[in-house]
Each structure stands twice: as C-alpha cells, then as structure tokens.
Structure 1
Amino acid sequence: RKLCSKVMIGIGNIWIFFNNCNMRFTNKIHWDVDGTDGLKMNRWYLVVANHQSWIDILVLQKILYRKAPFYKFFLKKELFWVPFLGLAWWALDYPFLERSSSAQKDIETTMRACEKFKTFPVSIMNFVEGTRFTAEKHRRQRSPYSHLLKPKAGGIAFVLAAMGEQLDSILDVTIAYPEGAEGFWAFLCGRVTEIKVRVESLPINEELSGDYFKDREFRKRFMSWLNVLWAEKDKRLAALLNEERSALRRGKA
C-alpha cells in the first residue's frame, strides 16, 4: 500500500506540473504571491483557505507545488462522479464524505484518513467555509464578515486532534481575485488575469488541542480562535482587493 501511495503521489505531482504549465502558457495571469518561501517538502501542514471558485484548487496547486508536500482534500461524495477528476481523486486516496451521513460516520472517515496521512508528509487542505462564497449565501447566513462566509470548525478541529503532534503548522491561505471570482469556464477562456495570494504560517499550540465534540469549553475556545482568524482574513482580503481598486483610481486620475 505504501509503494502504491508513493507511485500515485508521483503521478499526482506530474499531473499538477502539467496543470501549472497549461496555466503558464495559455493564461496570461499576473501572480502576486507572498509567504511560501519558508515552506518545506518534508513537513506536515494543515492548510485553511477561503473558497470562492473552482479555480481555488488550481491556485493552491500552483502556489504550493514543490514548496509543500502533496495535498489531500476531504471531498463531498458527489464529486466522485465528476468525469476524470473523480476517478483521479479516488486513485489518490482522497477521503470522500457523504452529505447525508451521520456526524459519527464522517468522524470515522476522517480518522481513517488521518491515519493514512501519517505515512508520508502531506498538506491537508480544508475550505473552512464548507462551500463557495456567493452573495446569496452570504446574505442567507447573515455573515459578520464582508468577504467571507462563517467558518465551520469541526473538520479542522478533528484533524488537529488526530494529527496535532505530527502537524508542523497551520498554513492560513488567503486567495483574492481583484477582478472578481470567476467560474472554471471563464478561467479556461482566459478571463482571469490577476490572482493575489497570501500565506501565513501559524503555530499549533496547546490552545488548539482538545475534544471539540465532547468538551463544551474547548469548543467555545476553538470557535473563538477560528472567528478571530477569520476576522483577520476578512481584513486581509479587503486590503488585497482595495489595493487593486486604489491602483485603478490612480490610473484614471
């Protein structure tokens, strides 16, 4: 199984390489990326990012390629049926979670996945909002953030509980599309010309260690920590978007 996993990770990295080449030669994108220089390929990371578009996955592939270890996502079971990609994700041993399943079943799936993640260095990706940002979802949630949906803590809390001692740090990734988040088809058509990304490495301390599902006090502390993190991300995202608007105003002056 270890040999098979190593081979599949190698194939996955080749796939990412060709994806990155395709972006480089077919999309004229200006990349503004900061915070990836100190990352290591032989470490374990928990990556948390905001989620606006299907493009986010390609962005994470691009900025972390050969800087952080191969990434793994927790995916919705429905994505198994996405042509080509679903089979590739299954072969790469990505864990699939069922929307209609009980919390206990998802915990068991996450636990099994985390045991496998201990074998080789890995970047465990998590879109903490649980879904892509849209104005309608933002309105329905009454989100307190200007550019983000409310974060969901359960997934990352469980990963930290299962792998806390092995994880080296949390990578807080903020993705900004100054021209607005576009869909995958718009990306393929070359309508995305600028992407900004900021990566901040956060320590994993005792404050983040506990039983999120059974310890009410820990759950409150963890949720408070995540809300502060998300408020800071919202400010960072606003600043990245305002930089572009300010530049446009200066250009028109």
Structure 2
Amino acid sequence: MVVAGILKLILPFRVVSQGVTAFCNVMMWLWCLSLAFILKVTNRISWDIQGADELSRNSWYLLISNHTSWSDIVALCVVMRNRIPVTKYFLKQQLAWVPFIGIACWALDMPFMRRYSRSYLLKHPEKRGKDIETTRRSCEKFRDHPTTIVNFVEGSRFTEQKRVQSKSLYQNLLPPKSAGIALALNVLGSQFDRILNVTLYYPDNQEKPFLDLLSGQMKRIVIRIETLPVDDSIRGDYLNDKAFKRQFQLWLHDIWQQKDQQLERLKQQFIDKR
C-alpha cells in the first residue's frame, strides 16, 4: 500500500487514483484477514457479538463507536471484514506524518481531520471551516463504490482523566463531536443505507486492552451493533443552520446517553457473572 500510495502521489490522475484505491481496498481486506488469523493463534478470545446478522457488503454505512483503546480498530476490522464494505476511518491529521502508516491510509482515501482549538481560530479566523471542507472533499470520493465510514466521535480514547477534564455528562464516554458525521450525512446521506451504532467493551481487560491483545491475554470482546435509519431529520446544513445544528447535537446526545447506559448494564452483567 505504501508503494501504491507513492504511485498515486507522483501520478495524480483519476484513473490512477481509482486503481490504487481498488488495490488498497483488497490489501486492507487481506490485512483484516491476517489480523483474524493472528488473534486466533495468539489469543483465546470469546467473541460476544449481537446485531450483525443483517449487514451487507453491498451497502453504504456510517459507523459510529465509542473509543477506549487502539484495540478497537483491530476488533472492528476482524469482526466486520466479511460483513460490511472496507472501512474508512476519520483520522487525526498528525497520523498523516507517521512513516508507512500515513501514506497507506492516504492511499486508502481515509479522511484526515485537522481540528483547531477555539483559541487558535480566534487568532486565525481564516482557518475556520477548513477541517470541515477537508471532510467534504474526502466523502465525495466514496460515492462510486459501497463504503463504510467509521468515526470514533469522541475524538480521543476514553480515560477517566479525560472524562473529568472534558466535564463529560456521561460516566463511560467522552462528549461526542458531531460536525464530522453531520457533514458526512449531508454529503452522502442519500447513499447511506444505515447508521451502525457500535458499542465496544472489554469486560476482562479494561485497564490495558491493547497491551493484553498483543501479549495474548485478551479474554473477551463484547460488541453490540444497533442499526439506525438515515432520514431527512439528520441531514442538513450543520455549518450554517443553527436550528439544525442544535437538533443534530440533541440527536447524538440521546444516542450517547443510551450507549452510556448500555455500558453500565454490560459492566453489571459481567460483574454478576464473576
């Protein structure tokens, strides 16, 4: 994928770009397949999955999920590899400069998000809306073939310290960031078949799930998938329509509140089993 990404960089033609994307999508699926094999031979994981029965590789999805660890991406890749189209993740701009990973993700057309702080925008008002425009251009590329766009809408991995610092209203989640998925729905809303609301939980490996995964100590991964409809009530001009923006934020808050309650129930469920 790195070599393909370099080819795409030096030959910026549409036909080359489409060919590189198709090739990298196959490589991404093979990577997910290899991850599944590695997990099978290195970990004895008990998979607890609900809600995946009616998914299709020929549909367009917007997948939103809570985010607790780097292992979240591994778990989603392994579970979803044969159930939905190749996943495209919203990534932080800094990852674009990580050797090998950055150019591979760029070759896959993954959207890189550059978030500006409020203080920075006050000093540089010309940057306002630039991150959203980048998202718009990225989403336009996904019209041609079935795609799953993944957004960890908290914007960062959950920790108790971050929860306190962000003054989160939730016990198990950080506040959701709504702009990215609102724009994706506005650009591709007519093509998205469903929204996949995914909840990830590691009942026996909560402290360091990724390290446990690497060291063969992951015991159980719980995944709950809820499908939500895509309708006109969640498609609109998030940037310029204040009423719609408020309505969308309330919609996402309601989903996040239910997810928070679901995580509390899962915690209690597995505590009782012990």
Offset, 1:174 = 0.3
Q: Which residue number corresponds to residue 196 of structure 1?
A: 222
- Equivalence map 1:19-168=2 (5 Å): 19-100=35-116, 102-168=127-193
Equivalent residue letter for 1:72: K
- Give the 3-state SS of the residue equivalent to 1:175 in structure 2: strand
Q: 1:56-107: per-residue Cα shift (whole Å, max 9, x none)?
A: 0011111111100000012112112334322321221212222448342212
Quick one: structure 1 residues 114 and 201, their matched pair in 2 at CA, closer, same or farther if it must change by over 3 Å?
same
More off after superposition, 203-212 vs 164-173:
203-212
The Cα of 1:48 is off from its aligned counterpart by 0.3
Please tell me whether the aligned partners of residues 53 and 181 of structure 1 are also in contact (alpha carbons under 8 angstroms). no
Q: Counterpart amino acid of 1:60?
A: L
Report the secondary structure of 1:157's partner residue: helix
- Segments of structure 2 that go 5 or more residues without pairing to the other structure are 1-16, 122-126
Deviation string 1:88-130 (CA, Å, 9 cap, x unpaired) is 2122121222244834221221111111011110110000111
Structure 2 letter corresponding to 1:192: M
SS in 2 for 1:78: helix
Counterpart of 2:21? 5
TM-score norm. by structure 2 comes to 0.87
SS at match of 2:62: strand
Deviation string, structure 1 residues 138-168 (Cα, Å, up to 9, x no partner): 1112211111111111111010011100111
Q: Which amino acid aligns with 1:149?
A: L
| Structure 2 residue aligned with 1:217 | 243
**CA contact 2:202–2:209 (8 Å) conserved in 1:** no
Given that 1:182 and 1:192 are in contact with CA atoms closer than 8 Å, whether structure 2 keeps it comes out as: no
Alignment-mate amino acid for residue 63 of structure 1: V
Q: Within 1, Cα distance between the matches of 2:47 and 2:99?
A: 29
**Cα-Cα RMSD:** 1.4
- In 2 relative to 1, CA 35–242 (structure 1 residues): closer, same or farther, beyond 3 Å? same
SS class of match (1:24): helix
Whole-Å Cα distance in 1 between the matches of residues 45 and 36 of structure 2? Answer: 12
Separation of aligned partners in 2, 1:116 and 1:77: 18
Matched with 1:251 is none
Q: Within 1, Cα distance between the matches of 2:179 and 2:112?
A: 16
Contact 2:49–2:223 (Cα < 8 Å) also in 1: yes
For residues 128 and 67 of structure 2, what CA distance do their matches in structure 1 show? Answer: 23
Distance in 2, Cα, partners of 1:218 & 1:181: 38
2:258 matched residue in structure 1: 232
Larger displacement relative to structure 2 (153-162 or 233-242) = 233-242
> SS of the counterpart of 1:210?
coil
Deviations, residues 11-30 of structure 1 (Å, cap 9, x unaligned): 11111110111111111111
Deviation (angstroms), 1:186? 2.9
Quote the Cα distance in structure 1 between the aligned partners of 2:178 and 2:207: 24
After TM superposition, give the deviation of residue 184 of structure 1 in Å.
2.8
Aligned residues: 248
